[in-house]
Amino acid sequence: MARILVADDDVDIRELVEFKLSTMGHDIVAVGDGAAAIEACRAEKPDLAVLDVMMPGVSGLDAIREIRADADLAGLPVILLTARAQEADVETGFDSGADDYITKPFSPRELAARVDALLARTP
């Protein structure tokens, strides 16, 4: 299956996402902040990243901007998973380079379906 980076500062959310995606057969790399997410993307070369927007230090939005600016990572599919549900927040997420945007609280089944759909579209 795929190698997926999960970045969320909330341990419970991170472990839930990690558990759901690992039961689907994916190899999960889990980190707790945006800076670690960028480092892990460069080191691990994941097939997809799931990033929280609001993390201490480097936010998910800043992380995705750095990922998109890196020629080796620019094509990495990224899902933003966040409590920020206002229309302007969603627009900012997509403007930052997100491929999908899921708001918390979320359904693990919906997350799984969106991960599968995004991976299916990725060459």
Structural domains counted in the chain: 1
Q: What is the mean pLDDT of residues 90-114?
A: 96
Q: What is the pLDDT of residues 38-76, one digit of tens each?
A: 999 999 999 999 999 999 999 999 999 999 999 999 999
Output the domain CATH number for residue 9. 3.40.50.2300
Residue 120 lies in a domain: no
Domain residue limits at 33: 3-113
DSSP string for 28-72: EEEESSHHHHHHHHHHH--SEEEE-S--SSS-HHHHHHHHHHSTT
Q: What is the pTM of this model?
A: 0.96
State residue 72's pLDDT score.
Answer: 95
Q: What is the mean pLDDT of residues 88-109?
A: 96
State residue 47's pLDDT score.
Answer: 97
